Amino acid sequence: MIKLGKLTDYAIVVLTQLSQESDGARSAPQLAEKTGIPEPTVAKVLKTLAREKLVESLRGAAGGYRLAKRAQDMSLCEVIEAVEGPIAITSCVTEAPEPCGAEGRCPSRGKWDPVNRAIRLALQELKLSDMASRGCGAPAQRLIQVTMPRALEEGRAK
Amino acid sequence: MIKLGKLTDYAIVVLTQLSQESDGARSAPQLAEKTGIPEPTVAKVLKTLAREKLVESLRGAAGGYRLAKRAQDMSLCEVIEAVEGPIAITSCVTEAPEPCGAEGRCPSRGKWDPVNRAIRLALQELKLSDMASRGCGAPAQRLIQVTMPRALEEGRAK
DNA sequence: CCAAAGAGTACTAAAACCGTCCTGATTTAT
DNA sequence: ATAAATCAGGACGGTTTTAGTACTCTTTGG
């Protein structure tokens, strides 16, 4: 199972919520209340997203955050990379300067590239706005309760 | 960073090694020596692979393992699913009977499907034999030393 | 009948991740 | 000018996940 961390999930929820607000900034505490995610965690996620330029932050008394671009222009690829780092299916494949040990080039180097490319491509086509459109009436708030019932993953071991 | 576990890496290394042996079974200790992976771990991986029918096991004094199919017919998708469980990019998306909480359907349910499909497709096209073909002279043994210098992942946080 | 090998399970140790808190910087309002 | 609200950045502890190991049982060839 290839899995995303909880924080990434939170990021998507928060960004989705942000995209549904009428213009203007929303503070971390506000977003925490609307999404049901604990406030310190929301703050942490937003700080990361601000550092990666996915949201703009406004400091000061009436400060807050707002999306740095339109929801339909923000791909999940960006979001995931912002939170989790570069997307690649192995650790070794990233563009590190001199990643692999001393002598001898890694035989599997580059073999994963097609896979990584496919993942990124699919992720780039999925936009934040796609996550918002929902067929049922559940508010984003429910999303957080509903995501990641981690216990159920255990079923895979059979 | 979407990542594969170490065990999956080991599985690929061991299977690759197995594919390069002339016909006949190889025991876990033999494979451990050839790959440089600790013997108990090799044994563990092989047991998993045998359970998932990717290798055939021969018990008894002269027993061992051999590939259940040709290397060019074995996709990485199979290998990964054997070790890690079903491939999906979120935890929630698996085919669990009643995964999500009580009332209200999960808004993001199904949104990830195109991504998951793309990943699986790419993974199905990559065969075990592709991993074996190497442009340099490094034996598979080196692969294990070379994969996953986990420390380097830290660089991503910047 | 014994030795070698796989099967299955359970346990321990290490690593990653999540969540929280604390301190400092910035801006608005009074 | 001061106070309040808010973001920025880093540090820390606990929980969960994963990796690695050990033990016992079964199978099979000599």
Residues in chain B closer than 8 A to A142 (CB atoms): 104, 107
- Residue A100 belongs to some domain of the structure: no
Contact state of A1 with B94 under an 8 Å Cβ cutoff: yes
Name the residue closest to C3, CA to C1': B61
Nearest nucleotide to B63 by CA–C1' distance?
Answer: C5
Smallest CA–CA separation between A28 and chain B, in Å?
22
A111 CA to D2 C1' in angstroms comes to 62
- In chain A, how many domains are there? 1
Question: What would the mean pLDDT of B79-87 be, rounded to a whole number?
Answer: 93
E-only strand ranges, B7-107: 55-58, 64-67
pLDDT computed for residue B143 by the predictor? 34
Each residue's pLDDT tens digit, A33-72: 999 999 999 999 999 999 999 999 999 999 999 999 999 9
Return the DSSP state at B136: S
Quote the ipTM score.
0.79
Tell me whether residue A95 is in a domain.
no
Cα B141–Cα B143–Cα B145 angle in degrees, nearest 5: 85
Residue B129 lies in a domain: yes
Q: What is the mean pLDDT of residues A114-126?
A: 91
Instruction: Check pLDDT > 60 for residue B98.
Output: no
Nucleotides of D under 7 A from a protein CB: 3-11, 16-22, 26-30
Say how far apart CA B4 and CA A152 lie, in whole Å. 20
Pairwise CA distance, residues A100 & A77, whole Å: 26
* pLDDT score at B100: 46
Q: Could you give the CA distance from residue A6 to residue B140 in angstroms, rounded to a whole number? A: 35
Q: Which of A52, A77, A115 to mutate to test the interface with B (most CBs of B within 10 A)?
A: A115
Distance CA B106, CA A138 (A): 8
Within a domain: A158:
no
Q: Which domain holds residue B125?
A: 6-93+108-148
Whole-angstrom distance, CA of residue B116 vs CA of residue B93: 10
In chain B, which residues have their Cβ closer than 8 Å to the Cβ of A90? Answer: 3-4, 9, 147-148
Whether B100 maps to a domain, the answer reads no
Question: CB under 8 Å to B149, separation ≥6 — which residues?
Answer: A91, A92, A99, A100, A101
Any domain includes B102: no
**Residue B44 confidence (pLDDT):** 97
Residue of higher predicted confidence among A91 and B70? B70
Rounded to 5°, the CA angle A86-B123-A152 comes to 75
Is B5's CB less than 7 Å from nucleic acid strand D? yes
Check whether B15 has a pLDDT greater than 80: yes
Do the domain assignments include residue B103?
Answer: no
Mean pLDDT of chain A: 77
pLDDT at B108: 54
Residue B138, pLDDT above cutoff 50: no
Q: Give A120's DSSP letter.
A: H
Search chain B and give the residue with CA nearest A119. Answer: B119
DSSP single-letter state for residue A60: S
Q: Which nucleotides of C are covered by protein (CB under 7 A)?
A: 3-9, 15-21, 25-29
Q: Is the pLDDT of residue B12 over 50?
A: yes
- For helices B39-51 and B6-19, give the axis angle rounded to 10 degrees: 80
Residue A36 falls within a domain, yes or no?
Answer: yes
Q: What is the CATH number of the domain that holds B72?
A: 1.10.10.10
Strands A64-67 and A55-58: antiparallel
